[in-house]
């Protein structure tokens, strides 16, 4: 009796070892799809897409920084033009005042 139980246990363990030794392939089926995909391929695709999105966002941030820098340069230029106009107006007023005196 004990030998039968031991034999059954050994047989079950051998079956379990055989199953564990087999390569298991995890599969995923996306909603609204009929075919299954290998889970590692799905994860690779997700990671590649995330990498492309990240690169696109980084490129966008760099472009935004360039635009912001140029906007600051234009603001500085506009202030310089205003200063020149103000100084030119003051000089013109002085010249006109000197001409009126003469």
Q: State pLDDT tens for residues 83-96.
A: 888 888 778 788 88
pLDDT digits (tens, 9 = 90+) for 19-65: 677 777 888 898 988 999 999 999 999 999 999 999 999 999 999 99
**Predicted pLDDT of residue 52:** 96
Which pLDDT score is estimated for 73?
Answer: 94
DSSP string, the chain: -HHHHHHHHHHHHHHHHHHHHSPP--EE--TT-SS-EEHHHHHHHHHHHHHHHHHHHHHHHHHHHHHHHHHHHHHHHHHHHHHHHHHHHHHHHHHHHHHHH-
- pLDDT for 2: 75
Q: How many domains does the chain have?
A: 1
Containing structural domain, residue 37:
2-101
What confidence tens digit (pLDDT) does each residue in 53-72 have?
A: 999 999 999 999 999 999 99
């Amino acid at each position: 009796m004990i030998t039968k139980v031991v034999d059954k246990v050994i047989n079950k363990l051998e079956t379990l070892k055989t199953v564990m030794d087999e390569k298991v392939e995890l599969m995923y089926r996306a909603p609204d799809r009929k075919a299954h995909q290998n889970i590692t391929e799905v994860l690779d695709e997700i990671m590649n897409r995330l990498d492309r999105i990240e690169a696109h966002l980084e490129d966008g941030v760099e472009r935004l920084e360039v635009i912001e820098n140029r906007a600051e340069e234009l603001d500085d230029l506009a202030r310089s033009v205003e200063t020149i106009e103000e100084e030119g107006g003051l000089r013109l007023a002085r010249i006109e005042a000197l001409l009126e005196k003469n």
